Structure 1
Amino acid sequence: MRSIALFLPNWIGDVVMATPAIRAVRAHFRDARLLAVCKPYVADTLAGAPWFDETILFEKKGPPAQRFAAVAGRLRDAGADAAVLFPNSFRAALLARVGGCDTVVGFARYFRDTLLSRRLYPARDRLGRPKPTPVIDDYNRLVEQLGVPDPGYRMELFTTPADELAADGVWARFGLPRYREVVGLNPGGAFGAAKHWPTAAFADLARALVDRRGAGVVVLCGPTEREIAREIAATAGRPGVVALADVPLSLGLTKAVVRRLSLLVTTDSGPRHFAGAFDVPVVSLFGPTHIAWTETHFAKAVHLQKPVPCGPCQQRVCPLGHHRCMTELSAVEVFSAAERLLQTFKDESHQERRHAG
């Protein structure tokens, strides 16, 4: 194929789970022109990656150059003759067709069957309901329709020199080089409040990591989570617990910080997969979501989830108001899981990862 357009997922974590498939397409079609069609923040997630020849930003309410007609024109100009649709939206399939792609691969969902030339179907249980299966497997299945060998499960991300320079500034500002271990805490999640673990529990965990392991603790955050990060660090009440709330934030900085960590403790959100992509041990805290949807088979991961009668409900906000699936998960349990991972991988040196650009 001369030119292949990959319509990338819209969630940061899903983008990371798509990286084995993206890498496999690049390796299999060495002479093809590979195009990324994605939202702007998705492009930031993959900054530094060597796979794409061109990135086409697509944003429904973005500038005119990023809207449907303009993007369709760019696909036609690029001669894209095949498209792989990682998102399941009708709009993505229509855009691929209007953009001149003869081969369009995707899952037959949301009434877009007739727009697809190669259709896949999601797994269902005996009652015909969607069955939780790993998204990473679905992404691999999509690209295999183009004749790509099994991509496997090794996720991969990259940082830029600017990202690393920003992380250097964080390490210097907070005196992190003096710690043998630096653990990251990620309390956020764009999905909704149902995924959040209480800030008091994060603070208890941070104190335990400082007091019992002598670790430095960095609380990560996005632009809308600054107050949560500040509250965790303030409640922890330890000089070794710091928050990124008052530094210039970017996805690139988050990637570079995660890459340097000894361990990440996180809600089920995008940075969880940053850890896997950088081979950093990770404890993931699950509440309302099925673990199976985002299982990546990363060997250095521990998933914690409390069984409750009402879950996993897949709701953004707890419909019953008690949020038990998260509040019943104790800081003691999370610290125990974190300590096991830190002990298991204590002989691994992180120096190369911390300082490689």
Structure 2
Amino acid sequence: MSNFEICHLIFFLECGFCNLTFMNLLVIAASGIGCTIMFTPTLRALRKKFPDAKITFLGISKGFVIPVEGSNLVDEVLVFDFKKDSLFNFKKIWGRLKFIQNLRKRKFDVSITAFPSNKWFFNFYAWMVGAKKRVTHFYKTSSLKNLSFLQNTKVKTDKNLHDVDQNLNLLKAFGKVPEVDKSLYFHISKENEEFAKNFLQERNLLSKKLIGMHLGSSKDYSFDVKRWPEENFAKLIGRIEREMKAKVLIFSEPNERKEIEELAKKFAVSPVIVCEDLKNAAAIIKRCNTMVSNDSGLMHIAVAMKTPVVAIFGPSHITRTRPYTDKAKVVVNEECNSCMKYPFASTSIRIVCDKERICLEGITVNEVYDELAHFGAFKKIDRITH
């Protein structure tokens, strides 16, 4: 028996649940909406392996818990709204300490920090919560820099794995990883489905061929460098409207609506702009024939909704975050390597591009259109029309 296996055997003997029938389990999601979605197969596996466990899902932003909110994958969702620029705001420190104190009182048996997690705050927070067993990934960066020594169970990372499989490997901390459905999941309700139906019906789009688009990506940590030029999206919309006779739905934040309207006017295109909350947006994406998107949370939502995806990749790790489905095409400039060093080579999530975004600037409208056409823009034949 290896030292690794002996340590876990001792842990279960000490905690008194060698039969693994019950645990008070905390999942810490700290890296984004897309990252939460890519963790859902692991939640499914945890449910299968520990059917009697109480699973609490904790996000450091409200958006991070939305994919699993209302689902049977978790028993409870909590939000610890962490903002880096207010970390040392003493007016908020007391409230945060009380939040952590209340979590400590729950006496979690296990905490699991979702991938990627190579940041000091994630490890410090897991330690503060005080679960007996604290599971995370092992990174080659200094444990002093990321405070990973505060976690007591670490699973090796593999830079050749997709984030979905990286997360599933965390279950090695509990023995054999169970066979599980690895498809992505995003919870929507019947009310969200009804909203989507009415949204399209009011615009006479229920029987139309629909192409969803997401022009954006998070603006945090310079993630806007992951955006294909908006002018290219506008030109792509023009070709779709002329040649495919399809309607384009642009999914957007409300504060970007005016900018998109001006872009549409400039290029004489007429997309439908969708500025709805995430669950209603997901229900509409479910009814699209295909989704065209940058590497973003909405791209992963489309995968979870089983909508075919044409993904445009720039500085992101394609191996890590490509659409986790066989119903996808990825358009990428092969001449440019990823500028994103996190989490394997750096503890900084910020993307620093020193090549003036040639990875995205070099991808032409024709390339994306051809992938869309060859892939089959209307491949999703089971779209609901009633």
TM bracket, shorter-chain basis:
0.7 to 0.9
1:213-252 correspondence runs (5 A): 213-239=244-270, 241-244=271-274, 247=275, 249-252=276-279
| Structure 2: gaps of 5 or more residues | 1-21, 140-144, 341-349
Q: Deviations over 1:314-345 (max 9, x none)?
A: 27464233x22112211111111112222683
How far did residue 279 of structure 1 move? 0.9
The answer on whether the counterparts of 1:153 and 1:296 sit within 8 Å (CA) in structure 2 is no
Answering whether residue 102 of structure 2 is matched by residue 74 of structure 1, we say yes
- Is 1:349 matched up with 2:382? yes
- 2:155 matched to which residue of 1? 120
From 27, 41, 50, the counterpart of 1:20: 41
Q: Name the % identity.
A: 23
Q: Secondary structure at 2:174's aligned position in 1?
A: coil
| Alignment map for 1:10-159 (pairs within 5 Å) | 10-38=31-59, 39-61=61-83, 68-86=96-114, 87-109=117-139, 110-123=145-158, 131=159, 133-147=161-175, 148-151=177-180, 153-159=182-188
Seen in structure 2, the aligned counterparts of structure 1 residues 273 and 66 have a Cα distance that, compared at 3 Å, is: farther
Partner of 1:22: helix, strand, or coil?
Answer: helix
1:182, distance to aligned residue in structure 2 (A): 0.5
Name which of structure 1's ranges 48-57 and 14-23 shifts more when overlaid on structure 2. 48-57
Relative distance call for 1:142 and 1:28 in structure 2 (3 A) is same
Q: Give the Cα separation in 1 of the matches to 2:50 and 2:207.
A: 46
Q: How does 1:176-325 map to 2 (within 5 A)?
A: 176-179=205-208, 181-190=209-218, 192-239=223-270, 241-244=271-274, 247=275, 249-309=276-336, 311-314=337-340, 316=351, 318-321=353-356, 323-325=357-359
Structure 2 length-normalised TM: 0.79
Count of aligned pairs: 338
SS in structure 1 of the partner of residue 338 of structure 2: coil
Can you give the 5+ residue segments of structure 1 that lack an aligned partner in the other structure? 124-130
Structure 2 CA distance, aligned partners of 1:254 and 1:262? 14
| Cα 1:95/1:236, change in 2 over 3 Å | same
Note closer, same or farther for the CA distance 1:34–1:221 as it changes in structure 2 (3 Å cut).
same
Alpha carbons 1:264, 1:280 under 8 Å: kept: yes
Amino acid at match of 1:159: I
Q: Which residue number corresponds to residue 126 of structure 1?
A: none
| CA–CA distance in structure 2, aligned partners of residues 282 and 313 of structure 1 | 23
**Higher mean displacement: 15-24 or 109-118:** 109-118
Matched, 1:339 2:368: no
Distance 2:324 2:98 in 1: 39
Change (3 A) 1:329 1:296: closer
The CA deviation at 1:24 is 1.1
State the TM-score, normalized to the length of structure 1: 0.85
Give the secondary-structure state (helix, strand or coil) at the position aligned to 1:325: helix
CA RMSD in angstroms, aligned pairs only: 2.6
Aligned residue in 2 for 1:127: none
Q: CA deviation at 1:75?
A: 2.4
